[in-house]
Chain A
Amino acid sequence: MKYYAETHEWVEIVDGIATVGITEFAAEELGDLTYVEMPAIGAVFAAGEVFGSVESVKAASDIYAPLAGKVCEINDALETNPEVLNEAAEGDGWICRFSDVDQSGLSKLMSREDYLKSIGK
């Protein structure tokens, strides 16, 4: 099950590993995405901390860690094909995976239903 942050990231935890990305709504709002700045593998982030950025033709936007954790994998495919983010932001367009996740932070995130409500959908 996915959880959503006010800052338009999603996170899904499977076997203790959290996969993180930006929401379809965010990708749509940003327009054509042209570059993804990835965190370094092994980097540790607090919940709410900037861990990377996505760039569209017009602007760059920070992305925030929805939960505290340590980066254990990045989605290399986005380096050559950032347009995957526009096609499947909540699927193949995942950005990175975190281990050592502090799951207590989930209580501060939203369900999909609440997130969609928050963006007026």
Chain B
Amino acid sequence: MEEPLLNTPLVDYHVALGARMAPFAGWNMPVQYSEGILAEHRHCRTATSLFDICHMGEFRVAGPQAAADLDRILARSVLDQALNTCRYNFLLNEQAGVLDDLIVYRFAEDEFFLVVNAGTRSHDVDWIQPRLSPSTSFEDESDAIAKLDLQGPQSAAVLAELGLSIDRQPAYYRFLTLTLWGLPLLISRTGYTGERGFELYFPVAAAGQVWETILATPGVKPAGLGARDTLRLEMGFPLYGHEMDETITPVEAGFGAMLKLEKPREFIGSEVLRDPVRGRPRRRLFGFRLESRRAARHGAAILIDGRQVGVVTSGAVAPSLDIAVAMGYVDAEFDLKPGDAVGLDAGKTVLPATVANTPFYTAGTARA
């Protein structure tokens, strides 16, 4: 029997706003509000959007061996990660397949905060916990922490209006902890939209209060997972379960340059990644630009001269570009370059597409 869907603490607020709710990773989540995905997407690209991301998981890992433990469990080092910074990272299995992609926050020399995907959270717990030293503490704080993403070019001004002046706001991929609105708040300059933005973490009991306070600020509108998906797709950001899963290595997913494979550092999966045979990418992730708004969808075959060479992992209209785009894996023997032509199977017809650089959308303000 299917497990009942989980609700975030904000479900009643979503319903009151006319949200269309749908299951995602075991959660009952808002896909869109009354204005629709396209309007929400454009609002985030031009103003400020607020996303309920309470479904994601948060772990706290601490102790004198925590850094060494995580350095062995995660694909990118945490030992050289500065305090008060965030780092995108990967949890790999022994075959170097991606069990999860996550963000690591370094609170202190001996204390870390891991933000993980909702659908992988419980498996991550089962994977990480037994691999920690006895002295390292592990807390799954997901149920106690609310997460809201405030994203858009005006988000810094919105935060300033809400009491955190721009000069106090964290820089890109940095975070700070403070008391704001009477609450202990963790705020990082991170996000999944390609726009300047922040991710806010605070006690779950305050979720409704914070949601309403932020939404009452002029220029802020709610956005659902539908817009979150088109925003991340325009940036070429991977979505776990689409561009990554436990059979795909981070090298295949295009993150090879982020990984430092030189010895002596060893991490789970490093042996395979260093092996010239076992570690050789079998496929590579590419972006594709179509010729109209007609989209190729997850699972569609990628064709060259009528022969299948790969599979689409995400595809939809890119609202900022007004054409459809896609991402997908192509067998490694095909060394594709931007501009190369492929076909994407849409059932009754094959849609012409060209290999494109990502991000597809290049005017994002994330680092501005």
Q: Which bracket fits the contact residues of B? A: 10 to 19
**How far apart sit A57 and B37, CA to CA, in the bound complex (Å)?**
7
Residue in chain A with minimal CB distance to B40: A32
Q: A35 touching B293 by the CB < 8 A rule?
A: yes
Residue in chain B with minimal CB distance to A59: B297
**How far apart sit A100 and B293, CA to CA, in the bound complex (Å)?**
32
Q: B293 touching A60 by the CB < 8 A rule?
A: no
Contact indicator per residue, chain B 288-321, by CB within 8 Å of chain A (1) or not (0): 0000111101000000000000000000110100
Q: A57 touching B292 by the CB < 8 A rule?
A: no
**How far apart sit A60 and B346, CA to CA, in the bound complex (Å)?**
10
Most interface-central of B37, B293, B319 (chain A CB within 10 A): B293
Q: Which residues of B contact A57 (CB under 8 A)?
A: 37-38, 226, 230, 316-317, 319
**How far apart sit A59 and B347, CA to CA, in the bound complex (Å)?**
13
Question: Contacts A31-B32, A34-B317 hold; do A55 and B295 have CB atoms under 8 A apart?
Answer: yes
Q: Which residues of B contact A86 (CB under 8 A)?
A: 36
Q: A35 touching B20 by the CB < 8 A rule?
A: no
**How far apart sit A86 and B317, CA to CA, in the bound complex (Å)?**
16
Q: Which residues of A contact B295 (CB under 8 A)?
A: 34-35, 55, 60
**How far apart sit A99 and B32, CA to CA, in the bound complex (Å)?**
39
Indicate which residue in A37, A58, A82, A83 contacts B226 across the interface (CB closer than 8 Å).
Answer: A58
Q: 19 interchain pairs (CB within 8 A)?
A: A31-B20, A31-B36, A32-B36, A32-B39, A34-B295, A35-B292, A35-B295, A35-B324, A55-B294, A55-B317, A57-B37, A57-B38, A57-B316, A59-B297, A60-B295, A60-B346, A82-B293, A83-B38, A86-B36
> Does chain A have a CB within 8 A of B31?
yes
Q: Which residues of B contact A34 (CB under 8 A)?
A: 38, 293, 295, 317, 324
Contact indicator per residue, chain A 41-54, by CB within 8 Å of chain B (1) or not (0): 00000000000000
Q: Which residues of B contact A37 (CB under 8 A)?
A: 294
Q: Which residues of B contact A82 (CB under 8 A)?
A: 293
Q: Which residues of A contact B319 (CB under 8 A)?
A: 57
B230 CB → nearest A CB, Å: 6
Q: Which residues of B contact A83 (CB under 8 A)?
A: 38
Indicate which residue in B292, B293, B316 contacts A58 across the interface (CB closer than 8 Å).
Answer: B316
Interface of chain B residues 9 through 42 with chain A (CB within 8 A) = 20, 31-32, 36-39
Nearest 10 pairs of A and B residues by beta carbon: A34-B317, A35-B293, A32-B38, A35-B294, A57-B37, A32-B36, A34-B293, A32-B37, A57-B316, A31-B36
**How far apart sit A55 and B295, CA to CA, in the bound complex (Å)?**
8
Residue in chain A with minimal CB distance to B227: A57
Q: Which residues of B contact A31 (CB under 8 A)?
A: 20, 31-32, 36-37, 226
Q: Which residues of B contact A59 (CB under 8 A)?
A: 297
A38 CB → nearest B CB, Å: 11
**How far apart sit A34 and B38, CA to CA, in the bound complex (Å)?**
9
**How far apart sit A60 and B293, CA to CA, in the bound complex (Å)?**
12
**How far apart sit A35 and B316, CA to CA, in the bound complex (Å)?**
11
Q: Which residues of B contact A60 (CB under 8 A)?
A: 295, 297, 346
Q: Which residues of A contact B297 (CB under 8 A)?
A: 59-60
**How far apart sit A13 and B142, CA to CA, in the bound complex (Å)?**
58
**How far apart sit A37 and B297, CA to CA, in the bound complex (Å)?**
15
Most interface-central of B31, B226, B317, B324 (chain A CB within 10 A): B317
